[in-house]
Amino acid sequence: MQLAIEQPRHHAEVFEVTRAAFGGDDEAHLVERLRADGLVRLSLVAVEDDEVVGHVLFTDLAVTVDGRALRALCLAPVSVRPDYQNSGVGSMLIREGLRQSALAGFEAVVVLGHPAYYPRFGFSAKLAEKLVAPFSGDAFMAIELVDGALQGEAGTVVYPEAFGIVEGH
Ligand SMILES: CC(C)(COP(=O)(O)OP(=O)(O)OC[C@H]1O[C@@H](n2cnc3c(N)ncnc32)[C@H](O)[C@@H]1OP(=O)(O)O)[C@@H](O)C(=O)NCCC(=O)NCCS
Q: Which atom of ligand 1 approaches the CA of 80 most closely?
A: 39
Pocket test for ligand 1, best of 16, 117, 135, 163 (most atoms within 8 A of CB): 117
pLDDT for position 128: 97
Provide the pLDDT for residue 136: 87
Q: What per-residue confidence (pLDDT) applies to 90?
A: 98
**pLDDT below 50 — which residues of the chain?**
169
Write a three-state SS string for the chain.
CEEEECCHHHHHHHHHHHHHHHCCCHHHHHHHHHHHCCCEEEEEEEEECCEEEEEEEEEEEEEEECCEEEEEEEEEEEEECHHHCCCCHHHHHHHHHHHHHHHCCCCEEEEECCCCCHHHHCCEHHHHCCEECCCCCCCEEEEECCCCCCCCCCEEEECCHHHCCCCCC
Ligand 1 nearest atom to the CA of residue 117, by list position: 26
For the chain, list the domains and their CATH numbers: 2-163 (3.40.630.30)
pLDDT at residue number 169? 47
The per-residue pLDDT for range 50-91, each reduced to its tens digit, is 999 999 999 999 999 999 999 999 999 999 999 999 999 999
